[in-house]
Amino acid sequence: MFNVSTNTLKIIATLIWLSGAIILYIKSFSLLIQTENLNPDQSWTWLALLSGLVIGVIKTKFLFNRLCYKNLNRIYALNQPKIWNCYRIHFFFFLTLMVSLGAYMSRLAQGDYFMLLAVAIVDLSIATALLGSSLCFWKKPQVADAATQTTTE
């Protein structure tokens, strides 16, 4: 009854991945705007923006691409995929924990210029890594398998 194709699971996984990137970009830019309102004309805001993007690119290359390929290979290996198999259950627990922690950190940082910058850098780096690694979802399964083998060797 809840059986779906692996392609459908890949689409669901992609939408979840990209929605996380979009939400974190919106949140990080909101935090950066708050820092700019607290201390206008400070170069720290631009440095935080650049840092978040650079750290995100590094995370993409060394962590998030590998996670994407690992999940895609797991999806392709499923015999009778169900709609909830787009990610493993521990991913959803981890996601809930990260969203809660991120919300807590944002509330804690309110009014504190450097804390807002730090949370913005973290959020922006994760958003960039999610967006950058989402390219894995658009590759053919054979390419994903080959890329996983080369990155794990």
pTM listed for this prediction: 0.88
Task: Report d(CA 67, CA 131) in Å as an integer.
Answer: 13
Phi, psi of 78 (to 5 degrees): -70, 135
Residue 141's pLDDT is what?
63
> 77: buried, middle or exposed (CB in 10 Å: 19+, 13-18, 0-12)?
exposed
Report the distance separating Cα 58 and Cα 61, nearest Å. 5
Which residues are paired to 59 by β-bridges? none
Domain layout of the chain by residue ranges: 6-152
Averaged pLDDT in 10-residue chunks for the chain of 153 residues:
91 96 97 94 93 98 95 94 94 95 96 96 98 90 47 41
What local confidence, expressed as pLDDT, does residue 111 receive? Answer: 92
